[in-house]
Homo-oligomer: A and B are copies of this chain.
Amino acid sequence: MRRVLHGNLVYAPALGALETAEHAYLVTENGIVTGQFSALPERFLDDPIDDFHDALILPAFTDLHLHAPQYPMLGMGMDLPLLDWLERYTFRTEARFADPDYARAVYRTLANALIRNGTTRVSMFSSLHTDATLILMEELERAGISGLVGKVSMDRNSPAYYTESTEESKRETLRWLKACERFTRVRPILTPRFTPSCSDRLMRWLGDLAKESDLPVQSHLSENRSEIAWVKELAPDCERYWETYAKAGLWKPGTLMAHCVYSDAIERKAMRDYGVTAVHCADSNINIASGIAPVRVLLEEGTMVALGSDIAGGAQLNMLEVMQMTIRASKIKRIETDWQTPFLTVAEAFYLGTTAGAAYFGHAPGFPIGKRLHAVVIDDRAWGDIDRLTIAERFERAVYLAKEPDIIAVYADGVRRK
């Protein structure tokens, strides 16, 4: 089954670079990209075409840090200090996912919302519930989303109504992993919530499991100052936060660490040396007044950085809005550093929200040949001046202006889903 797409292609081949191909063609076979052409070769002229005419075709978005069970509290409790926010909203909301019917309804809505907004690859935190986590994975698969989902491990410093014993956590993790075998697009990722809510014993067990079963790992790192002080109290043997993961065997290539706002030179070097990816969550870091992560420094040092919406600390599911907020956060970092740090350009934020995330999943930039198509199509005609502007200018405007209805088509893992 061949299918041709036509439109203006835009992607980020490298950090800071932008590649555009005006009125170009993508050819797919069974969802796999087989060619990109500036004029359609004669042999494809009779194939069915999705002709998007003058619209912009971009790689679909990647969201490498978000909390699925916090979706019902999106945009709420933003005025509360972190601990009150966790108590009054987060834990209570996550606890509702003990109910499989509730989980089914919310996760179906979330999966559909992700697709409608052009996010096709994710790394997600679920709740601690095995069944709800499996439902989340089912709903993501059904919607066409690929990536990683983690049942959260949390056996200490959690409210009585939303915690698990160490033994229970181990048992449920194994039950969950066994049940994951049936999924094809969505794979499990080990997910200690963060050091304060995961005992040393459980962390070490997860580290051993990660090694034996060759499973990836995600967690939180150096998000805010009181959290860091708490970790220091809980793990006096560790000089820095990252060591609490490292000593358990959880610090390894492919590990995703959200935030890294206060990671100093040594912690950043450990990220780079071990191949750990920093997931920058600009909106969340601002909403919770955590601070602004040193993204430019991380990138200059050669650490891998991708973007996360971090709902519901972040209030925006749409990754174009997340890219915008990434740019804004970098401009604040510029102000904070007496205008000495270059901000992230539109092309750079776009790279982090597409190419960098795709790279985490082993995909080359753009619309790589031999891989299933991940793409979004944006119709920007309503904003005018289509004929006066370059494709690059129109792309930049789309990053700032496109809302969900302007994303007129989404291809996820080779299949058109919108």
Q: Is A327 an interface residue (CB 8 A)?
A: yes
- Check A44 for interface membership: any CB of B closer than 8 A: no
Say whether A401 contacts B74, CB under 8 Å: yes
Q: Is A95 an interface residue (CB 8 A)?
A: no
- Contact call A383/B286, Cβ cutoff below 8 A: no
> In the complex, are the beta carbons of A397 and B76 less than 8 A apart?
yes
Contact B397 A286 (CB under 8 A): no
The one of B289, B315, B383 in contact with A401, judged by C-beta atoms closer than 8 angstroms, is: B315
Alpha-carbon distance between A283 and B321 when the two chains are bound, in angstroms: 13
Among B72, B287, B332, B383, contact of A74 (Cβ-Cβ < 8 Å) = B383
Q: How far is the CB of A223 from chain B (nearest CB, A)?
A: 13
Q: Is the interface of A mostly helix, strand, loop or mixed?
A: helix
Contacts of A106 in B (CB 8 A): 384
Contacts of A292 in B (CB 8 A): 332, 335
Nearest Cβ in chain B — how far from A105, in angstroms?
Answer: 9
Q: A190 contacts which chain B residues (CB < 8 A)?
A: none
Q: In the bound complex, do residue B335 and residue A78 qualify as a contact, i.e. CB atoms below 8 Å apart? A: no
Selected from B72, B75, B400, the residue in CB contact (under 8 A) with A396 is B75
* A147 beta carbon closer than 8 Å to chain B: no
A336 an interface residue at 8 Å Cβ cutoff?
A: yes
* Interface core residue of A286, A336, A389, A404 (most chain B CB under 10 Å): A286
Chain B: minimal CB distance from A320 (Å): 10
Determine how close the nearest CB of chain B comes to the CB of A130; give it in whole angstroms.
Answer: 24
User: CB of A343 within 8 A of chain B?
Assistant: yes
CB pair B400–A75 under 8 Å, yes or no, is: yes
A331 at the interface (CB under 8 A from B): yes
Decide: A403 and B403 in contact? CB cutoff 8 A: yes
Pick the contact of A331 from B109, B286, B315, B396 — CB < 8 Å? B286
Q: Does A339 contact B (CB under 8 A)?
A: yes
Min Cβ gap A294→B in Å is 13
Q: Which of A72, A79, A290, A346 has the most CB of B within 10 A?
A: A79
15 A-B interface contacts by CB (under 8 A): A72-B385, A75-B398, A76-B389, A76-B400, A78-B346, A79-B343, A79-B346, A283-B328, A286-B328, A287-B331, A289-B331, A289-B335, A292-B332, A315-B324, A403-B404
- Closest 10 pairs between A and B when the two form their complex, measured CB to CB: A75-B400, A289-B331, A75-B397, A315-B400, A79-B345, A75-B401, A286-B328, A76-B397, A289-B334, A332-B332
